[in-house]
Structure 1
Amino acid sequence: MQISALIAISLRLAYVMIFRYPSLLFILFTVALVPGSNAQHMPGVAMGNYAGTQSLYHNPAFVADSRYSVHVNFVGAQLYVANNHIKYNVPYSFLSLMTGTVPDKYRNERGAIILPRVDLEQKLNGRLKHMNLGLEGRLPSVMFSLFDGRFGVGATSRVRVMGNMSQFTEPLARALRGRGKGEDIQKQLFENQSGNLHLNGVGEAALTLGGVLLDNETDFFKVGVTVKRLIGLYNAHIIIDDGTFGIYPDENYQLKKELINVSTIRTTYGYTSDGGFQDLKLSPAWMLGNAPAGSGWGFDVGMVYEYRPNANRHSYTERGVRKRDGSVNKYLYRLSLAVTDVGGVRYKNPNYVRQFQTSAINRTFRFENFQKLDGTEGFFNAVNNSLDTDTSTPTTSFRSVLPTAFQASLDYQVQPNIYVNTLWVQNLISAGAFGMKSESVLAVTPRYEHRWYELSVPVSIMNRYGSFGVGLAGRVGPLWFGTDHLLGLLNVGKPKTFNLYAGLSAGLFRRPPKSPNACYLPGGETFWDRLFRRR
């Protein structure tokens, strides 16, 4: 019941942001509540040797030869927001907004925080606009090391809500940012307008298998694969292929209200009804059957190579069998390559799924038609009425792709406990594709790691390589936390990205050998090393 509630709350929050309060959506371009733009990758906590199940979302091969015999993730959450249109230019930081410490001079007489549109500074350059918004809940997950780490298995679960706006023409983005208010956007005719909006809520249960293929002292190679069962909990999308519109004051209101006159429009839009996630069940029969609004399969595949010039220092013989000390890291550098989130969700339950395609001339969107709407159906019914859409024969099936990405990382051990990681994530889904898109990012993250604690400073080029960020992340006992855009959190500059992530996890570490032979000394130093050093 608690997991179901978390999923429902996440989906409801995303719906409210996009369809009930669209101006709030653009506020959240720069400020947010839960995985900067690359928080879905979390380089500050996911690339270390004690990341446990968090590392499996980057590369399933990490399940093999882990430093844990068992690792459990109890709960985790992240939120990320990135865009190329709005800058957060507000006199108080997001940290004060999040903690409720905004000074009284920035509040109205009722105590509500004032955020004028002028504080959401626009970048107007005539280019297409984009936004990625994501909320993710990482649910209970576990991984095991088997056969002295040569094999590993993991079972993970999570729910993701991803909102993607792409290829939005600038006037459309300006109109959404200010809800049509402002003389700079009114009483003009904007032609050849287009854009895509996709909102997806997807639950996931996954199984990861990995194993060591090669271990010849210096060279070490392992591979892994993750198979995912996907449950489509919610979808809403609006695709404007071409349109002409103008925004004008509505003379029917004494107070300032606006109407949108659409001269021409060619569009496709659809949704799954609220019952798609309200009827959520967690039984295997429900998850594997056709009862959800949507379902599908996905997979990740990856490989890891480690260069271990001193692996013999961490080897020992037990009962005539040569073994490695699984409690220590043995590589000088580690190369990881993976393709993640291949697959998609087919929404096809006719009880929940609706899609419409229409071309219209001289239609009007009025303020009163979009008040007191009853859920998702209420919003799209208002759209249907405004466009006079024929709703007698809706499409009841469509497919949304996963945010497929290529991921590569290089981890270099500077000295024991000190590493530098380089992570590159490249989105492989086109801007016009139907579905979810990953964030592209390049991050360099120095870190100090210990089995009980860790500190890292991710330095990133995020937001489709358009924003620079410096973060701070760490792990203390079971708690992991971080942000990849600390300056944005503290309101330094005019940030266009923001993120936070945190969670609780714990594990049992693999043990060192009980009785090392005479040529093995803990800490990576052999008997002969010590002998010659003393000389």
Structure 2
Amino acid sequence: MRKITLLLLVMASSLVMQGQSFNGFLTDNYSGVNSVIANPANITDSRFKTDINLVGVSAFIGNDYAGVNVFDAIKDDYDFDASANIYPTDNNNALVNTDIMGPSFMFNINRKSSLAVFTRSRAFVTAHNVNGNLIENFDSDDGDDVNFDDGSLITTGHGWGELGVTYARVIIDDRTMFLKAGLTAKYLQGAGSAHINGDNISVDYLVDGAGPDLGTIETTGRLTYAVFDSTVDEDGYEYELPNATGVGFDIGFVYEWRPNYPDYQKTNSNGDTYYVKDKNKYKLKLGLSITDIGSINYKDGVEETYIIDKFDTVENLEDEFDNADSFEDFLRNYYVLDESKKGYKVNLPTALHFNADWSFTNRLYVNLNTDLSLVSKDNVGATRIANTVSLTPRFESKLFSFYLPMGVVQYSGFQAGAGLRFGPLYVGSGSVLSALVSDNTKAADVYAGIKIPVYQGDAKDRDGDGVIDKLDACPKVAGPEENSGCPWGDADADGVLDNEDACPNEAGPKENKGCPWGDSDADGVLDNVDACPNMAGTLENKGCPWGDADNDGVLDNVDQCPKVAGTIEYDGCPSPAPKVTEAVLKTLNAYAKTILFNNGKATLKDSSKAVLDNIVGVLKDYPNSHFSINGHTDSSGSDTLNQKLSENRASAVMTYLIENGISSSRLSHKGFGESNPIDDNTTKEGRRNNRRVEVVLVR
């Protein structure tokens, strides 16, 4: 009976602990290359020049079937049956999970991008829908009869190795807004895999089914068992990796809100900017990532389905199990093989991670982290993490950090732990504190590791002038920031420092900003009071000559219109423009009446161009006057056609005038169609008079 119980417990192990390895440590901005496993964007704009992880080990164990006092449970004489608190249900779950991060390193390509290469070995065993009532009765000397129907046991055991390459880059760095992204590509090598799942399994266990102290067990349904082919050579000595490979991907983004960004940027007088590398710059950091996208194909694996319709005594079942060489042999000998196939895939524990980190000071932080499995627990042949929400206050500095992770873990409930990083060492547990005070712990974890960190150095200022050496043109001699950290001098020894001397290489009075006074144009007016120091002029005009800006022969000092050409008679202003008289308008319209168009069209006849040129000549005599060109037709044809024709003819006349020198700003046009006749449209003569173009004075 004990062996069957052990078998069921092994099949039931997994799925309950923190979805995130190295709980607490990965919230640290000094977790370095290790942080790629949570979010690949973390490695760029980090606090490291480079970071080398030698080895880090994280292990988890948990369940929702039994609660224990952890420190009693690790003793050699611990009696599980007598001391453990049992919580059997029809759907119990449990966990054994390890994560080993091997030699790994990261380095910065430039200020905005980084690269990491890491190795990692992982092992998961996931199980669902394990009937705890059945296990408890098998494990009890005076158990009750159990009837269990519609069971859908799903378990998966999987171990694999990873070789990952991560590239991360800053996407946005705009004062308060900062965004970076990262992508990891992983080569996966399977190390071993097996899964068991049941379909409509029922178990009818009778304590005295075949007589006193002789129990019976009846099972029905289908059981699928998959395992990779043997990875041991024929002699049973040398381990060989199975024919199982795959690829995986992680993708992540990190956004930082940096309201105090000016504190982390230094700029000298030459415009060179240095970004502080050794300080965290955010008030709030938000991270979002999806990890473990991919699968491993076990090409030589075997998946077999058995019909387990069987009635037997428990004693005989135990004998069959004891005598079998392996679990596969037990299944093949005891049940009926229904289906067998070669090769299967195991999906990675794909998960969504959201992380929010708030900075109270440059040393005190609080982190909110959520891990959400994207793999259904009903997915056969897939590993998955447990959904978790954790809150981690921490103290963080370059050489030392301390964490207090607290969270709610799916199935295992509330967990509280502690961890620290001291230089190259990191160690911790996400559950050690809750385990210390509880006799009913359902989960426990621990991690430890060692690395070689190479931190970003702080900005040095050897001469103490407030200008960091990276931007200081004179790093060993103090000087003002305005002169890029160099002291001001007095090259011409005139008592005016070069920063205030407009002529640093020529002595001059302070009143002239260190430049000597002179008379460059030799007009008797010194340059300090000469408004035109390079052009001879008069004292009355502040050393400038009088000019004639409009070239009208009247000097600007007496020209009443210095920017408009005029006449001496009008003191340099132009004579008033002539006004258009009624006689002029009669002349214009007398010309206009003789403008001829091609029949039914708006195109001018060649004979009209001479008349139009006369109109142009008249209009040029009155440059300040504006005119409207109005078109009229007789009543022949439709109103619409006549309206359009009158407009086009007026437009054609205006276009000719513009093309021949009349400004478009002085002209407008309008068509009146047949609406304004000046004669009788019933006669040929009247219609000819009505077809006309008129020139009207606007202003």
For the criterion TM > 0.5, the same-fold answer is: yes
Q: Please give the alpha-carbon distance, in whole angstroms, between the structure 1 residues aligned to 2:365 and 2:3.
A: 41
Structure 1 residues 19 and 207, CA gap change in structure 2 (3 angstroms): farther
d(CA) in 2 for partners of 1:83 and 1:279?
A: 34
Match of 1:426 in 2: 372
The count of residues paired between Structure 1 and Structure 2 equals 461
The residue that corresponds to 2:671 in the other structure is: none
Alignment partner of 1:458 is 2:420 = no
Q: Which residue number in structure 1 is paired with residue 261 of structure 2?
A: 311
| Higher deviation after alignment, 262-271 or 156-165 | 262-271
Q: Where in structure 1 are there 5+ consecutive unaligned residues?
A: 1-16, 31-35, 103-111, 282-290, 529-535
What do residues 437-480 of structure 1 show as CA deviations (whole Å, max 9, x unaligned)?
1121111100001111111111101125x501111111112211
Match of 1:341 in 2: 292
1:94 aligns to 2:80 (yes or no): no
Separation (CA, whole Å) in 2 of partners of 1:218 and 1:496: 44
Amino acid in structure 2 at the alignment position of 1:332 = K
SS in 2 for 1:246: strand
Letter in 2 for 1:379: F
Query: What is the aligned partner in structure 1 of residue 666 from structure 2?
Result: none
Q: 1:369 aligns with which of 286, 302, 320?
A: 320
Inter-CA distance 481–443: structure 2 relative to 1 (3 Å threshold): same
Distance 1:39 1:484 in 2: 11
Relative to structure 1, the CA distance from residue 311 to residue 370 in structure 2 (aligned partners, 3 Å threshold; closer, same or farther) is same
Is the contact between residue 196 and residue 238 of structure 1 (CA under 8 Å) also seen in structure 2?
yes
Shift in CA distance, 440/154, structure 1 to aligned 2, threshold 3 Å: same
**Partner residue, 2:242:** 292
Alignment match of 1:478 (pick from 396, 410, 424):
424
Q: Which amino acid aligns with 2:376?
A: S
Residue 215 (structure 1) aligns with? 173
Change (3 A) 1:273 1:490: farther
Contact 2:47 2:279 in 1 (8 A): yes
Question: Shift of residue 24 of structure 1?
Answer: 6.1
8 A Cα contact 2:223 2:305, kept in partner: yes
Summarize the alignment of residues 89-168 of structure 1 with structure 2, pairs less than 5 Å apart. 93-95=69-71, 97-98=73-74, 102=75, 112-124=76-88, 126=89, 128-148=91-111, 150-168=112-130
Once the two structures are TM-superposed, the CA of residue 127 in structure 1 deviates from its matched residue by: 5.4
2:60 is the alignment partner of 1:80: yes
Match of 2:41 among 61, 71, 83: 61
Deviation, structure 1 residue 317: 3.9
Name the CA distance, whole Å, in 1 between partners of 2:290 and 2:168. Answer: 15
Task: Give the letter for the 1:426 counterpart.
Answer: L
Aligned counterparts of 2:167 and 2:441: Cα–Cα separation in 1: 40
Shift of the 274–262 alpha-carbon distance from structure 1 to 2, 3 Å rule, reads farther
TM-score (norm 1): 0.78
Instruction: Measure, in 1, the Cα distance between the counterparts of 2:467 and 2:258.
Output: 16
Q: CA deviation at 1:134?
A: 0.7
**1:469 aligned residue (409, 415, 433):** 415
Q: Is the Cα–Cα contact under 8 Å of residues 199 and 223 in structure 2 kept in the other structure?
A: yes
Letter in 1 for 2:142: E
Structure 2 spans left out of the alignment, 5+ residues:
470-479, 482-699
CA distance in 1 between counterparts of 2:161 and 2:323 reads: 29
Between the aligned partners of 1:83 and 1:488, the Cα distance in structure 2 is 15
Q: Give the share of equivalent positions with the same residue, in percent.
A: 23
Residue matched to 1:231:
189
Q: Within the alignment, does 1:401 sit opposite 2:359 as a pair?
A: no
Q: C-alpha root-mean-square deviation of aligned residues, in Å? A: 3.3
Contact 2:393 2:404 in 1 (8 A): yes
Amino acid in structure 2 at the alignment position of 1:153: L
Partner of residue 494, structure 1: 440
Given the alignment of the two structures, is residue 203 of structure 1 paired with residue 161 of structure 2, yes or no? yes
Instruction: Give the distance between the partners of 2:86 and 2:393, measured in 1 at CA.
Output: 34
- Report the AA paired with residue 157 of structure 2: L
Compared with structure 1, are the counterparts of its residues 260 and 343 closer, same or farther at alpha carbon in structure 2 (3 Å cutoff)? Answer: farther
Q: Tell me: CA distance 1:497–1:380, structure 2 relative to 1, closer, same or farther (3 Å).
A: same
Q: Separation in 1 of the partners of 2:135 and 2:272?
A: 67
Q: Hey, what does 2:385 align to over in structure 1?
A: 438
CA shift in 2, pair 1:491/1:97, >3 Å = farther
Q: Is the 8 A contact 1:280 1:292 kept in 2?
A: no
- Which amino acid is the alignment partner of residue 448 of structure 1? F
Corresponding letter in the other structure for 2:140:
K
> What is the match of residue 302 of structure 2?
354
1:23, CA displacement in angstroms?
6.7
Change (3 A) 1:22 1:474: farther
| Larger strand proportion of the pair | 1
- The residue aligned with 1:332 is 283
For 1:310, the aligned partner's letter is N
CA distance in 2, matches of 1:448, 1:208: 28
2:251 — aligned with what?
Answer: 301
User: 2:124–2:159: 8 Å Cα contact kept in structure 1?
Assistant: yes
In 2: Cα distance, 1:279 partner to 1:292 partner: 12
Select which of 38, 42, 63 maps to 2:22: 42
| Distance change in 2, residues 1:521/1:461 (3 Å) | farther
Amino acid at match of 1:246: D
Q: Give the distance between the partners of 2:238 and 2:217, measured in 1 at CA.
A: 38
TM-score by length of 2: 0.61
Contact 1:18 1:25 in 2 (8 A): no
Taking structure 1 as reference, are residues 477 and 294 closer, same or farther at Cα in structure 2, changes over 3 Å only?
same
Residue deviations 1:363-400 (CA, integer Å, cap 9, x gap): 547222333765xxx1111122111326xx73111111
Higher-Rg member (1/2)? 2
Q: Secondary structure at the match of 2:337?
A: coil
The one-letter code matched in structure 2 to 1:117 is D
Distance 1:345 1:176, change over 3 A: farther
